[in-house]
Amino acid sequence: MSTDVKASADTPPPADTLPARAPFSIAGLIDRHLGVLSFIILMLALEFGLRYFRVPDYVLPPPSQIFTALVRGFAPPFLSPSQYYVNIATTLTEALLSFVLGSAFGIFAGAMVVEFKGVRRLALPYVIGLQSVPKVALAPLFVVWFGFGIESKVLLGVLLTFFPLLINTAAGLSSVERDRIELMASLKAKRWTTFRMVKFPSALPYVFAGLEMAAVYSILGAVVGEFVGGNSGLGVLILSRNAALDIAGSLAALVILAVMGIALQRAVAFARGRLLFWAPVHDRLDADS
Amino acid sequence: MNARQATARTAPDARGGAIPTHARDNAAGPSAAVPPTIEVRGLSKTYRSKREGTVLALDDISFTVEEGEFVCIVGPSGCGKSTLLKILAGIVAHSVGTVAVRGKPPSDAQNRLGLVFQAPVLLPWRTVLQNTLLPAQVLGLDPKAAEARAHDLLRMVGLEQFASSYPNELSGGMQQRCSITRALLHDPSILLMDEPFGALDAMTRDTMNLELQRIWRESGKTIFLITHSIPEAVFLADRVLVMSARPGRIVEEIKVDLPRPRDLDTMSEPAFAEAVRHIRGLFGIGGKERPHVD
Ligand SMILES: Nc1ncnc2c1ncn2[C@@H]1O[C@H](COP(=O)(O)OP(=O)(O)OP(=O)(O)O)[C@@H](O)[C@H]1O
Ligand SMILES: [Mg+2]
């Protein structure tokens, strides 16, 4: 195991490979914009397909109607509860609070579990027990205990984001190369110094894998919490659009949720790129972007 | 910048040393008879592994290293040399026997020695300079003085243009040289080195051997160095400890009386060749595994 690590430390890094700039060609253009192109084709196919087969709007409206609903949702009056602004603000606040609090607690707990044997013995049975509970099933209870405000949603989100960070942080801290810790031991470094200067930075790739999951879970927590009982938020909006059989409005809210999710994940990926410039990127699907 | 470097290099001595060292900083008190810096008696080490059960890595090892002495250790691969070094550094516990470094257990907080691992063990998120400065941060040394010293050390090993490079931009040999500057940064009076020059080409290796000898002569450090190269051991050491294949035992101690300072011509002297031949002979008879010899 340690020989693997040593070998990889010795291999020179892959040179920055510049993609050879192909001379202008239609094929090259298509290749570069494949994502956008396929999206446009898909939307056009849906648009005409749904119209051609006369699929009713209350089952699946064509993309143009979803687009219209989006435009209408962003129009004034800006502060109306049926418009997007207030609902986006609510859901975003819930998601961000869940993300930050849940991640912070998760990282802290993961570190405590690895660093202190007593904590591990005491807490691990509970962690394993709680982890196997489907946490969204707790949402109705949280609404009873903490009301229809954002507290119940944040709590659900915290619970959802907490575990991936606890587990990833613990895994990262447990797999720090022994040589690195021995290096600090040879300097008789204090435990906290070793943690701060070597162990935690070494665990950061794992922590970031957890944060990427947490970005998804935090929005999930907010929406599920709103479904179960809330006054405001995109989840509430989806329910009310559904009740009015306004499927286009419902799907438009879903598009906004998707954009929010992507934005949060991008933010995490950006921070990761900044902090983990030294870590290999082979495990990233979007490594070329 | 220039002024700082100038002050850091105020006293170049006759040998033209660029790296300031405060000799014998941690030397024991004024007692007349200096106790051995490293004292090992009846040391054994058993590893417990899940697959193989127990592995006896070191068996009844005894030796001493005097203050200011340069001791090299050679032995076949897997005989427990790295294990011995880690025990001396206080990062691996031994099983039987006594080990004292300056009269204290190796893990004592006072024993802040310099350690060069067999692998470079650089932190990938730190530049070469920041890696070199690690001991200064851990030990709370003056950052300005430490940085000036780090630059001097990097110049010595030929890495000054790479001070702001990251380890994954360096070759294996360059990484290893950086790990040497890190081990020297806090000017430890005891230096433990595990095949420090193994990844270097022959010419760089000769240069590094000469530099190491110079540093040792100027600073009065106690150096304990593992090598696979018998000529390197004879060239550097006052005394060579020869180990047998696993379980590691000390088969023989050879005193090397070649005059100092030694240079590349030393290697063509008959006494040098005789010592090398003698140690090779030990492996030919005793060892089951022949060591890699260059
Ligand atoms: N952490 C460990 N757990 C179990 N066995 C170990 C451990 N470290 C080393 N060993 C065993 O102890 C023996 C000595 O290992 P060591 O690394 O000290 O050898 P070495 O003399 O430094 O070899 P080399 O010259 O190849 O570096 C080996 O047989 C190895 O399998
Ligand atoms: Mg070794």
Interface pTM, i.e. ipTM:
0.81
Chain centroid to CA B33: 25
Q: Cβ(B247) to ligand 1 under 6 A?
A: no
Is A19 contained in some domain?
Answer: no
Is A17 contained in some domain?
Answer: no
Q: Whose CA is nearest to atom 25 of ligand 1?
A: B77
Q: Cβ(B47) to ligand 1 under 6 A?
A: yes
A46 and A179 fall within a common domain: no
A36 and A102 fall within a common domain: no
Is A202 contained in some domain?
Answer: yes
Q: Is the pLDDT of residue B291 over 60?
A: no
Is A6 contained in some domain?
Answer: no
A83 and A135 fall within a common domain: yes
- Number of structural domains (chain A) is 2
A155 and A43 fall within a common domain: no
A134 and A277 fall within a common domain: yes
Is A287 contained in some domain?
Answer: no
Check if the beta carbon of residue A149 is closer than 8 Å to that of residue A210: no
A48 and A190 fall within a common domain: no
C-alpha–C-alpha distance, residues B46 and B52, integer Å: 12
Domain that holds residue A89: 69-281
The single-letter DSSP state of residue A58 is T
Check if the beta carbon of residue B67 is closer than 8 Å to that of residue B37: yes
A36 and A97 fall within a common domain: no
Query: The CATH number of the domain where A127 resides is what?
Result: 1.10.3720.10
Token pair, residue A151, equals: 């507290």
A41 and A156 fall within a common domain: no
CB–CB of B125 and A201 under 8 A?
yes
A175 and A253 fall within a common domain: yes
Is A15 contained in some domain?
Answer: no
CB–CB of B117 and A182 under 8 A?
yes
A124 and A157 fall within a common domain: yes
A31 and A171 fall within a common domain: no
Is A13 contained in some domain?
Answer: no
User: Other CB atoms closer than 10 Å to residue A218's CB: what's the count?
Assistant: 30
Q: Cβ(B55) to ligand 1 under 6 A?
A: yes
Spell out the per-residue pLDDT of chain A, length 289, in tens: 343 444 444 444 444 555 555 567 888 888 888 889 999 999 999 999 988 898 888 888 888 889 988 888 888 888 888 888 999 999 999 999 999 999 999 999 999 999 999 998 998 888 888 888 888 888 999 999 998 989 999 999 999 999 999 999 999 999 999 999 999 999 999 999 999 999 999 999 999 999 999 999 999 999 999 999 888 999 999 999 999 988 999 999 999 999 999 999 999 999 999 999 888 765 555 544 4
B140 CB near a chain A CB, below 8 Å?
A: no
Three-state SS at A159: helix
Check if the beta carbon of residue B124 is closer than 8 Å to that of residue B166: yes
Range in A108-112, B73-77, B160-164, B197-201 the model is least confident about: B197-201
* Single pTM value for the model: 0.82
Is A2 contained in some domain?
Answer: no
A142 and A211 fall within a common domain: yes
Check if the beta carbon of residue B223 is closer than 8 Å to that of residue B232: no
* Domains defined along chain B, listed by start: 2-282 (3.40.50.300)
Instruction: Determine the distance in angstroms separating the CA of A261 from the nearest CA of chain B, rounded to an integer.
Output: 29
Kindly give the number of the ligand 1 atom that is closest to the alpha carbon of B45. Answer: 12
Query: Which parts of chain B are beta strand (E)?
Result: 38-49, 53-65, 70-74, 96-101, 114-116, 190-194, 222-226, 239-243, 250-255
Q: Whose CA is nearest to atom 24 of ligand 1?
A: B77
